[in-house]
Amino acid sequence: MKNNKQNFLFGPSADLEIHLDGSDDRQKGDVLLDSGKKEACPVYFDGEAVSGKVNIRLKQSKMEHYGIRVELLGLIEQFSDRSSQHEFLSMARELARPGILTQSCCLEFEFVSVEKPYESYFGVNVKLRYFIRVTVTKRLNDLVKEQDFLVHTLAQYPDTLGGIKMEVGIEDCLHIEFEYNKSKYHLKDAIIGKIYFLLVRIKVRHMEVQILRRELVGVGPNSMSDCETVAKFEIMDGAPVKGETIPIRLFLSGYELTPTMRDVNKRFSVRYFLNLVLIDEEDRRYFKQQEVTLFRRRPNRHRRIAQEQQHQSQSADTAQPVHQQPDRSYFHHRSAHFGAKSPAAASGRSAANADGANTANNNNDNEAAVSPGNSDDSSSQSGESNDQ
């Protein structure tokens, strides 16, 4: 009798349930919970509305409350310091004013055109999550319920981007040339490349390609870095000879990868590297790392819509009235270009030319050494390498 009385006074007086609209028809993804278990949650994209229903089932004949509130939150949390949670997104709606509920009810909510700037991420030292929180304010203990959902960010790069080609080696011992077809890959892509052995004076018995994920959390002296080997792919077993070519074909769809994330809200970064590892007969390791960019490509439906919009835009730009001669538009363009006397137009062209020159000169610096040692230790790599 005493336990029943305590449950009546201090136990939850109602059960809360959050249901997101259209969640059954949406793409699902795994969310890592605090308990270590994974839960399948719906996937949303930037700009999409988030709506749903809150079901409140009373356990008593009535429940007094001081307001019911729903929030949409985006949170970055470091595992080493739970108190350093950072909210980069916060939206709220009042579902009910203070009063008394005499029966179970269902309350609807909607957040329109929600800007979701970052992709959901669950890493080794940090996580970025989106969730709905419902709070029923009471006099003693508030009732709180949370429902996670995933956010995927989409990107698109032209297929004509150049690949990666480098010559590296150890003086008078090893000289190889490796080539990858691209420097940017979508998560369902395939890495295709070749390795040329120009000089082989060490007894190599094994070679593999690894995908490394490097997670950097924080800035300055308090930053933490973690390097994880996501995938290993053996490309050679045996000793190569001079002039031999080894092909590489690695499919990314079979691994749990995320897009590359750079300086997310000035809190953390996630970068990926292709690590070429050679092991000789004395178990010495020689490796070379090359950073690549991973991105999430638009789904087929989104790509088709974007292509149709681009095609319509190009058709509208090239369309000309029947009575207009093509050469007239050409000379009109030339006269507008050379005869403009507006200082604003001239300065606009100068700025555009300067921006184009800066873009053309914007190249990434790559390492040029193969190093013996541990592939997870970048300091040992720089100390033991010799350029060919």
Q: Among 45, 269, 9, 271, which Cα is nearest to 141's?
A: 9
Q: Among 243, 133, 143, which Cα is nearest to 196's?
A: 243
For residue 308, the model assigns a pLDDT of 57
Q: Pull the structure tokens for residue 314.
A: 């190009």
Backbone angles phi, psi at 169, to 5 degrees: 170, -175
Q: What is the DSSP secondary structure assignment for residue 222, as one 8-state letter?
A: G
For residue 338, the model assigns a pLDDT of 30
Q: Are 284 and 222 in contact (CB under 8 A)?
A: no
Low-confidence ranges of the chain (pLDDT < 70): 1-11, 159-161, 300-388
Please give the domain boundaries of the chain with CATH numbers for all domains: 2-152 (2.60.40.640), 164-297+368-374 (2.60.40.640)
Please state, in angstroms and as integers, the Cα–Cα distance from residue 200 to each residue in 177, 196, 234, 243, 352, following that order.
Answer: 12, 10, 19, 9, 49
* pTM reported for the whole predicted model: 0.72
For residue 28, the model assigns a pLDDT of 92
For residue 5, the model assigns a pLDDT of 42
For residue 171, the model assigns a pLDDT of 80
Name beta bridge partners: 28: 42
Strand pairing category for 184-186 and 224-237: unpaired
Task: Report the alpha-carbon angle 193-238-229, nearest 5.
Answer: 55
Q: Pull the structure tokens for residue 234.
A: 């053996």
For residue 318, the model assigns a pLDDT of 54
Rg (CA), the chain: 29
For residue 312, the model assigns a pLDDT of 60
Residue with token string 């308090």: 222
Instruction: Give Cα 12 to chain centroid, integer Å.
Output: 39
For residue 367, the model assigns a pLDDT of 40
Q: Among 199, 67, 190, 50, which Cα is nearest to 134's?
A: 67
Helix (H, G, I), strand (E, B) or coil at 301: helix
Cα–Cα distance measured from residue 32 to residue 131, given in angstroms and rounded to the nearest whole number: 13
For residue 310, the model assigns a pLDDT of 53
For residue 118, the model assigns a pLDDT of 96
